[in-house]
Amino acid sequence: MMKRAFLDLIAAFFPLCNTISLLKQAKGVFMQPSFPHPEVIGSFHQFGVYGVSYQVLRPVGQTEKGWLVEIEIPESGERLEYKLDDVMNDPEAE
């Protein structure tokens, strides 16, 4: 509580501190590149031609090997991270 009051005091006297604080809070928005394929969110695909279907839930983040998304397999309810490149290569579920 005292730490919060101290930070509020600093922010009141130094507007730059407030700006820095806001930038730190929004760091994820500014630092994370935008997701390249928003159209796949919510779509259903299947693992290969004969595989089980899955739904793309949300982007997880970008790695050195590309983007990861969270998927859910409706049959089991299992959720896992999956490469966006693989989603783009998998056929849409029928």
Please state, as a whole number, how many other Cβ atoms lie within 10 Å of the Cβ of residue 20.
12
From 72, 91, 62, select the one nearest 83 (Cα to Cα).
62
Query: Once rounded to an integer, what is the mean pLDDT over residues 2-22?
Result: 60
Write down the pLDDT at residue 73. Answer: 98
The DSSP H or E segment spanning 66 is: strand 66-73
Domain boundary assignment for the chain: 1-31, 33-94
Could you read off the pLDDT of 33-77 as tens digits, one per residue?
799 999 999 999 999 999 999 999 999 999 999 999 999 999 999
From 12, 75, 68, 78, select the one nearest 40 (Cα to Cα).
68
Write down the pLDDT at residue 16. Answer: 54
